[in-house]
Structure 1
């Protein structure tokens, strides 16, 4: 790896170590978490998933047919619980009706066609679909989120106006087409985004990427 983003990857990996993301006991749990984590902190998702686990509901068929109100109450800690209950059941119904509840069959499908199917599910956007493909299906789809955009844009590596597809294309062109690298880089960008490249004010001192900033310093959208 010899690109700018590859250098950033090496620095972040040296500083923070391997992140071991996605924290889940099964691919199905990854899928559930990918929906529940939308617009909330992971600690809230953990509480919601634990509720499902204690209720014996980490099962595609059971989730698909559960009464929506009951599911919503169980996942309440994740926020937007009625909306997320509907989205989660939409996803589970795809798995049950299209693949007979078999994750093996789902993940044996052509990954690009599967991505299209996931995106056709109401409430499943590109970030969620790519998280499922990368972390549950072990397919090389780089996951783009607000941390990715913020870190790369502030370093001048992409335009602030870059959309999801442009940012994903940039990352995949700079990194090896490798599931493990995509997995770690996404998690490492989240980590540096939380510790240094924070939303309101970047804390550049001590950041492993500080000297990779342009000579004019941190880039801003204005």
Structure 2
């Protein structure tokens, strides 16, 4: 069956049930984990996140005051500890400068917010889109590897890197809400963990006989 993006989301939700992504106790935790998860496994990012939680309870005021070397050791399990430590402290400082108020940040920057996030050290396109979705409550699409793999298997061609899909799908169309966007990202990633290891498992999934169109 040919599906549009919203129909794909609805089918995945009906088959899999809600994932509740991003599982976290605070927006500060999500910000930290969005940086930690870059180029590593979920298990490694979680180990680093739990270390930061133990030392700071995800309190950004405490995090910006940590000695960089100490924070690097906490980040070490997630890899790229120097870059990610700097990114965490940069993002924490920026968020505090804006009084930790996502609504006010959205009001201040409007459509320029993604560009502002990308200007911060260590925030790339995927991280920026995760933050827009989960921190700033926008119906943003996260064009990560799982999404590109799924869409490719559903017949969408030319998905070579993050930008190749982002150019075609950035803001999710109506009737998507920001809550739908959060759930859709979670569903795609949970689907990928189950059906892309190995990739041949996709052929026995509930989406195996479907195709996707991005223009409707």
Query: Considering the TM-score relative to the shorter chain, is it more than 0.5?
Result: yes
1:180 match: secondary structure: helix
Number of equivalent positions:
211
Give how far 1:132 is off.
0.9
Counterpart for residue 73 of structure 1: 73
Deviates most, 146-155 or 37-46: 37-46
Structure number with greater CO (CA < 8 Å, separation at least 6) is 2
| Structure 2 unaligned blocks of 5 or more | none
Deviation string for 1:136-195 (max 9, x for gaps)? 221221111001111101221242346526446336466634112211111111122221
Give how far 1:80 is off.
1.7
The whole-number CA distance in structure 2 between the counterparts of 1:161 and 1:39 is: 17
Deviates most, 135-144 or 174-183: 174-183
Deviation string for 1:10-64 (max 9, x for gaps)? 2211221101000111111111111011111222222222212221251222222
1:121 match: secondary structure: coil
Where does 1:73-112 land on structure 2 (aligned, <5 Å)?
73-97=73-97, 99-103=98-102, 105-112=104-111
1:185 match: secondary structure: helix
Counterpart for residue 208 of structure 2: 210
- Seen in structure 2, the aligned counterparts of structure 1 residues 13 and 169 have a Cα distance that, compared at 3 Å, is same
Aligned partners of 1:60 and 1:101 also within 8 Å = no
2:38 match: secondary structure: coil
1:131 maps to 2:130 = yes
1:25 match: secondary structure: coil
Aligned partners of 2:37 and 2:78 also within 8 Å = yes
Give the aligned CA root-mean-square deviation in angstroms. Answer: 2.5
1:178 maps to 2:177 = yes
Aligned partners of 1:18 and 1:184 also within 8 Å = yes
Counterpart for residue 158 of structure 2: 159
Counterpart for residue 26 of structure 2: 26
